[in-house]
Structure 1
Amino acid sequence: MTKTKAFFFTIIFLAVIFGVKAQSKSTESGFTSLFNGTNLEGWVGNKESYKAQDGMIVIDPQGGGGGNLYTEKEYGNFILHFEFKLTPGANNGLGIHAPLEGDAAYVGKELQILDNTADKYAELEVYQYHGSVYGVIPARRGFLKPVGEWNQQTVIVNHPKIQVIVNGTTILEGDYLEASKDGTLDHKDHPGLVKSSGHIGFLGHGDVVYFKDIRIKEL
C-alpha cells in the first residue's frame, strides 16, 4: 500500500470513529438524569426501603412490601433509559402516568419488572411477565440477562403508544387504549389508561432490586 493510500484510509477511519462518537453524543442530547447517584433528591415516597447506595437506587424492603418511590415531577411523553439488576425471584414495577396514591397498575400504568425465569412465576398470565403493561399488553420473553447481571431498558411513551426495549430488543410495542377498547386482558378497570401524564415510579413488591443510570428525555 502506498503512503498516499495509507493516509487516505487513515483519514476515513478517523472520520468514521469521530462520526460514531458525535452520533453517540447527539443521541444523548436532551436527556436529564433522574438520579444524582448520591441521594434521593427529586424523589418522593418510601425513602426507607429505597436507598441511594454506591451510585444505585436499591430497594431492600427487609421483609416488607417495599412501597413505591416516585419522581417529584410529572411526565407526559418521554424516552426513559435505566439499568436494573434482579435478584432471584425478584418482582418490582415501573409506574408511569401515575398519581402518588392508589395502585399504579390501575390508576396509572405499570410495566412489570420481574425475574421471568423463577419457578414460582411459571404459571403467570401472559400480561404479568417482564415489560408487560400489567393487565393490558403482554411483552415478549427471553431477552433478560441472567439474574445478577445488569439489564438495559428503554421505555418510549407517546400517549397512547408505548414501546419497551430490553437489552437492544423491542419486547413490547402497542397502543394501550386500542388494546383495551374491547376490555383488558385481566378483565379489570384501568382508568389510568386514559391519563397522559403523571409520576414515574418504582413499585416495590417485597424483593431486592437495583437501579442505576436513570435518564429521561421529554418529548
Structure 2
Amino acid sequence: MLPRPLLLTPAVLFIACGGAKSTGGETAATLRGAIGGARPAAAGAATTAVQTTPAAAGWISLFDGQTITGWHNYKTPGAPVVGWSAINGELVRTGAGGDLTTDRQYANFELELEWKVEPGGNSGIIYRIDPSSDVSYTSGPEMQILDDTKHPDGKNPLTSAGANYALHPATPGIVKPVGEWNAVRLLVNGNHVEHWLNGTKMVEYELGSPDWETRRQASKFATWAGYGRAPRGYIALQDHGDRVYFRNIRIRELP
C-alpha cells in the first residue's frame, strides 16, 4: 500500500497556466521552479511563463533539506522523529518509526514533491487524516508510491504508482524506473482530487460522490466509516517498511 531545472535565479519560478481537466492519462507540459515540483497544465492548453517568487505564489516549503522540522511520527506530535532522516538534501525513510506526518492539518491544497524508491519499494502520500484515527490509512485516502516492476501491487492498476489506492486505477507506463525521481502534484480542493505523476494526470475523483461510494463499498474500506470523510487533516508520508526518498516538498493552501 497503504520535477528538471531551468536556468533560473533561486528566486524565480515559472508557472504553467492550465486548461480543461480530463478523467485520466492526460499528458501535460511541465515547467520546473527553483524549489522544484511539477506544475502541469492540461493537454492542448497554451502555457504562459510568469515570473514570481514561491512566497508570492503562496508556496511554502515543507522540507529544508537539513532538518525534519514541521513533521512528527503519526500519533507522537512533539516527540523526536524516529525512522526518518535528512540526508544529502533528501528526506529518507531509514528505519521503523511510523508514518511521517505534518505538524499542521490541511483542508484544500496543492502538494508537490519528488520521490524515488529502492527495488520493490512501497510507500504513499496520505491526506486529510483524521487525528482521531488509530492509523493514518483508515481515514486518509492515499496516492500510491511503488516500484511497479518488482512489487506485487504493481500488477494491479488499482494499487500501482499514482493510483488512488484500491479505488481508482493508475495510468500505466508513467512511473519512472527504480532509482529515478518521480514528480508528484496532488490537488485536493473541496471534494475534488487530482493525482498527477511526471506531468500526467493519473486519476481524478470527487470524494463522497456516488462513484466514490460505489468504489469504496466494493473495497476493503467499506467497513471504515471515516474513510475519506474528513474535511481537513494531516498529510503523511507512509512508512511501509521500505526505504523511500523525498525532496522538493512544498505546499500551497487553497481557499
TM-score by length of 2: 0.70
Q: Where does 1:33-182 land on structure 2 (aligned, <5 Å)?
A: 33-45=61-73, 47-61=81-95, 64=96, 66-100=97-131, 101-118=133-150, 120-124=152-156, 126-178=157-209, 179-182=211-214
Give the structure with higher Rg (CA): 1
Distance 1:108 1:85 in 2: 22
Distance 2:186 2:227 in 1: 18
TM-score by length of 1: 0.81
Aligned to 1:5: none
Number of residue pairs matched by the alignment: 198
Q: In structure 2, the residue corresponding to 1:108 is in which secondary structure?
A: coil
Distance 2:93 2:151 in 1: 22
The structure with the greater share of residues assigned to helix is 1
1:25 to partner: Cα distance: 3.4
Whether contact under 8 Å (1:136, 1:176) holds in the other structure is: no
> Which of 178, 181, 188 does residue 221 from structure 2 map onto?
188
Deviates more, 1:97-106 or 1:159-168: 97-106
1:166 to partner: Cα distance: 0.9
Whether contact under 8 Å (2:154, 2:160) holds in the other structure is: no
Task: Flag structure 2 segments of 5+ consecutive residues without an equivalent.
Answer: 1-11, 16-47, 75-80
Choose between structure 1 and 2 for higher RCO, CA contacts under 8 A separated by at least 6 residues. Answer: 1
Whether contact under 8 Å (1:104, 1:110) holds in the other structure is: no
Percent of aligned pairs with the same amino acid: 32
Q: Following superposition, which runs of at least 4 residues in structure 1 exceed 6 angstroms of deviation?
A: none
Distance 2:50 2:235 in 1: 26
Aligned to 1:15: none
Distance 2:203 2:53 in 1: 22
Residues 37 and 122 of structure 1, relative CA distance in 2, 3 Å threshold: closer
Whether contact under 8 Å (2:130, 2:232) holds in the other structure is: no
Whether contact under 8 Å (2:130, 2:230) holds in the other structure is: no
Give CA-to-partner distance per residue, 1:26-65, whole Å, 9 cap, x none: 484110001111111110117221111111100022xx4x
Residues 45 and 180 of structure 1, relative CA distance in 2, 3 Å threshold: same
Aligned to 1:204: 239
Deviates more, 1:46-55 or 1:99-108: 99-108
Distance 1:183 1:122 in 2: 20
Q: In structure 2, the residue corresponding to 1:188 is in which secondary structure?
A: helix
1:106 to partner: Cα distance: 2.2
Alignment RMSD (CA, Å): 2.4
Deviates more, 1:22-31 or 1:47-56: 22-31
Q: In structure 1, the residue corresponding to 2:152 is in which secondary structure?
A: helix
Distance 1:187 1:26 in 2: 44
Distance 1:129 1:68 in 2: 20
Give CA-to-partner distance per residue, 1:145-196, whole Å, 9 cap, x none: 1110111110011121111111111111111322322351414334231211
Deviates more, 1:182-191 or 1:144-153: 182-191
Residue 241 (structure 2) pairs with residue 213 (structure 1): no
Distance 1:41 1:121 in 2: 32
